Structure 1
Amino acid sequence: MRLPRPLLVSVLTGLMVMGSMLWLGLFITNSYRDLQLRALADAGGNYVDGLLAPMVLTAAAGGDAATDPADLGERLTDLSRSLPQGETLGVLRAWSPDGQLVFGSLEGDTAGTHDVDEIIEVAEGGIMWELVLDEEEAEGAPIAAPFLEIYVPIRDEVSGHTIAVGEVYRDATALVRERHRVEAAVWGGIGLATLGLLLVLGLTARQSAKLRANLHRERVVTAQNARLRAEAENARTEVTLANEMVLNVVGAELHDGPIQTLALGALLSGTDQRPLPDGTSALGLIGSALRQLRSISDGLILPELADLTVTEIVKVAARRHQDSTGRSVALDLKLPSEALDTPRRTCLFRVVQEGLRNAQRHADGDGQEIRCWTENDAIRIVIRNDVDPSRAPAKSPGGGLGLRGMRRRLDVFGGTLDFDVENGRATLDATLPLGASRRI
């Protein structure tokens, strides 16, 4: 399974932190061990230089000092008294270049001979040391483990040649105890520091995840706002166009209908008021103009829909259309007795009204029929009529202003609207979701 990129980065960073802290701990402890051993080795070298070297050099010059263990013993006793409490000097030995024991501070020391290769290695390389912790490795040693074994070359001051090798055994019990104490403190500090860094890393990763989530939500909201602004701008444009269309239609209806009729009536009223040969009179023209004005106003004024069911709303819209156009509308309504909220009642009425008006405008209202039923908790509205292909509305991505106005009304409730012309029949298919407004 592939980890998400932010989580993978956090895991890798945590591993790097733990690896770095592990390296730091090992570096500190190893450096401390080296410094600790070097300090004790230097001290052992001082013992050789201050005690064994003068005696070996005197013996090499032909004196007897190197054969006087009592004198060396007194010096060792004095030196032991000056050491810190709990520390002991250990055992001192001097070896000849051929591996023979020249002197040993341990009474009755029977070490015998020493490996010549190690003597040569010390003579050529200088001071050397070894920490022995295991009893098996300490077999044959003059003191018990743990101890530090130090080799120091003793050189002739004139020629510079190595004339002997001093060996010092120092008890390492205090050294090991101090090492454990220091290393425990170091690793404890490293562990706490690592835990703190991992905690900070975890908090940082969590905060980063929150920031990324907030940034994503902000981008989503920004995109939604941009889309809503675009839709609002389109809606304002469409409303402006629709208003202009309504004004143009109303103006044309008034100019071509009632105004022309009233103008003719005014002309007749200015004469001898006798009817025209076809029987048209001034009063008849005025009555016709009033009927025309009433028909126009019926299309503009919304009827009282508050107490009407879904079926009754559709019937009112169809009846108004029949009264104003004289064209019959076939109804096939299979709707339960329901009441909708005011916005949905208005939307249903206007969709049916505009659908019938489009049919009248483009096909003279021939073969108009309305079918309504409920489907998937929504009202399905299908309006069909015959259409002359030469007068059919041109199809466009958004439809005409009438279609766009109906679609805009339905979009508010999550509804849909489709319009198609096929085989001489125009079909308007709309859905109006009932939603939370449904009251049975």
Structure 2
Amino acid sequence: MIITGTVIANFVRSNALYHRAVATALFVDSSIVSHLGELRSGGDITDEAHAQLDSLFDTSAFADRVPYLDIWRADGTVLYSNSEGLIGEQFELPPGAVRAFNGMVVALETDLSAQEHVSRGFQRTYTEIYTPIHGADGEIIAVSEIHEASSDIGETLAAASIRSWAAVGFACLAFYLALFALVWRASQRLERQEKSLSAQLVQTQILADRNQALREQALSASRLLTEHNDHFLSALGADLHDGPSQLISYAVLKVEKARRAKTREALYSELGEIETNLTSALNDVRNIAHGLVLPQIEEGTLADAVAHAIHIHKDRTNMTVEADLALGDARPDRSSRSNRSINICVFRFVQEGLNNAYRHGVGDNARVEATLDARDMLDIRVVSYGRKSTPGSVSLPGIGLKGLKARINALGGELRFSRLDEVSVLEMSIDLRGQAAHV
């Protein structure tokens, strides 16, 4: 801004000074040219023209504006001057006069060190205006030097400088404000983007942590399921070996005794024992199979799965089971195998909870509570009362709490168990939003 202002201010000052010089030159030229006539062949001014030029300074209007007037020849000779002693003297041609002989109107500040000014004892500066004087053939034959003593020229130049500086200042200020607005808007946008990226980074980190936790949970559930399956198969094999297998083996041994029976009574006795053992083995196999076979509940509602588990348990144990179901008509999505497993998980949970209540409860009653809230959060509780020191008389095989927990965790749910004042509560919670159930 300083460089631009300085250049423009100097240009405006020069331009204002030039226009002022042109105006003054026209005024003086119109006054002196008519008195010059033809210069003598030697380049001198006639005496008549000299007298006419002197008469101009008798007018106060002219003399006040132009206190000094010099006419230069190309070789530096002063042809005319209203200062005594300069006419006919030869000095170094002023720079302004040199330019005027080239056809230019030149305005300069007075050089007080110039010889012609020293000889006159100038103590103040004037505005020197050099104007070419043309002859009849159009050639420049002389140059007039006017010393203008206008008191307002300084004010004019100062006002021009102030206006130019003000224009440059306002232009630079507007440019600065425009740049500031652009940079400020860009900065605000970058700030918003940085905050957005930070928030996204935090959210991404949260999702990554959650995915890691789910991955670890899935691996844990997979290990638990594997361990449970191994344990379950071992237990199933032991139950078949120690129960039905032993009874059938005993019956096979009795067949040989029946062949060797001597009397009909002995034969019937052996056959009776064989029938009893085979019947016991058949009942054991049926009991084991009944706990393993899954009823057709995959495509029913969640309420149907809970009610079916309660119904089967009541038929097998004659146990009183209260039901408080607030599930509506929610059912798993038929298009997804993983969603259909929700009903199976619900059935197994209620089955296992009621089996544990029968084995360990004091009374012959239990309570099943199931709710599905507006956020699709499924919550099922099996409540039993008291605790027996020995298990119930009927053995009801189940999938076990570990396997049940692994199954629920694999579906993104949670299994909890609590006991307070001889009241045991087995509870499961699964979030069904977007993947489990619909009405």
Q: Give the TM-score range, shorter chain.
A: 0.5 to 0.7
Partner of 1:302: 294
Asked whether 1:387 is paired with 2:366, we answer no
Map 1:197-208 onto structure 2 (within 5 A).
201=187, 204-205=190-191, 207-208=193-194
Asked whether 1:329 is paired with 2:315, we answer no
Whether contact under 8 Å (1:29, 1:186) holds in the other structure is no
CA shift in 2, pair 1:293/1:339, >3 Å: farther
Greater CA drift, 272-281 or 254-263: 272-281
Partner of 2:58: none
Return the letter of the residue paired with 1:285: N
Asked whether 1:81 is paired with 2:73, we answer no
**Alignment TM-score, normalising by the size of structure 1:** 0.55
Map 1:99-110 onto structure 2 (within 5 A).
102-104=121-123
Return the letter of the residue paired with 2:231: M
Secondary structure of the residue that 2:153 maps to in structure 1? Answer: coil
- 1:292 CA displacement: 1.1
Distance 2:125 2:307 in 1: 128
Partner of 1:246: 232
Distance 1:185 1:178 in 2: 11
Partner of 2:75: none
Match for 2:331 among 337, 340, 362? 340
Map 1:270-289 onto structure 2 (within 5 A).
270-272=256-258, 274=266, 281-289=273-281
Larger C-alpha radius of gyration, 1 or 2? 2
Whether contact under 8 Å (1:69, 1:105) holds in the other structure is no
Map 1:114-193 onto structure 2 (within 5 A).
142-146=151-155
- 1:285 CA displacement: 1.1
- 1:437 CA displacement: 3.2
Distance 1:305 1:320 in 2: 13
Match for 1:290 among 275, 282, 286? 282
CA shift in 2, pair 1:330/1:438, >3 Å: farther
Partner of 2:206: 220
Q: Share of identical aligned residues, percent?
A: 23
Whether contact under 8 Å (1:317, 1:353) holds in the other structure is yes
- 1:74 CA displacement: 8.1
Greater CA drift, 378-387 or 199-208: 199-208
Whether contact under 8 Å (2:251, 2:277) holds in the other structure is yes
Whether contact under 8 Å (1:374, 1:380) holds in the other structure is yes
- 1:303 CA displacement: 0.6
- 1:421 CA displacement: 3.0
Partner of 2:28: none
Partner of 1:367: 364
Distance 1:312 1:190 in 2: 75
Return the letter of the residue paired with 2:100: R
User: Per-residue displacement from partner, 1:76-104 (whole Å, max 9, x unpaired)?
Assistant: 8726727996751244558xxxxxx9425
Whether contact under 8 Å (1:420, 1:426) holds in the other structure is yes
Aligned-pair Cα RMSD in Å: 4.9
Asked whether 1:357 is paired with 2:351, we answer no
CA shift in 2, pair 1:248/1:387, >3 Å: farther
CA shift in 2, pair 1:387/1:77, >3 Å: closer
Return the letter of the residue paired with 1:340: R
- 1:243 CA displacement: 1.2
User: Per-residue displacement from partner, 1:183-210 (whole Å, max 9, x unpaired)?
Assistant: 6776676666656655665565455445
Asked whether 1:258 is paired with 2:255, we answer no
- 1:295 CA displacement: 1.3
Secondary structure of the residue that 2:233 maps to in structure 1? Answer: helix
Return the letter of the residue paired with 1:355: G
Secondary structure of the residue that 1:331 maps to in structure 2? Answer: strand
- 1:224 CA displacement: 2.3
User: Per-residue displacement from partner, 1:289-310 (whole Å, max 9, x unpaired)?
Assistant: 1221111111111111257565
- 1:75 CA displacement: 4.7
Map 1:422-433 onto structure 2 (within 5 A).
422-431=420-429
Distance 2:318 2:311 in 1: 9
Whether contact under 8 Å (2:5, 2:168) holds in the other structure is no
CA shift in 2, pair 1:176/1:82, >3 Å: farther
Whether contact under 8 Å (1:275, 1:282) holds in the other structure is no
Secondary structure of the residue that 1:103 maps to in structure 2? Answer: coil
User: Per-residue displacement from partner, 1:372-391 (whole Å, max 9, x unpaired)?
Assistant: 35464655432314324698
Q: Which runs of 5+ in 1 are unaligned?
A: 1-24, 40-65, 95-100, 108-139, 148-170, 392-400
Match for 1:229 among 200, 209, 215? 215
- 1:228 CA displacement: 1.9
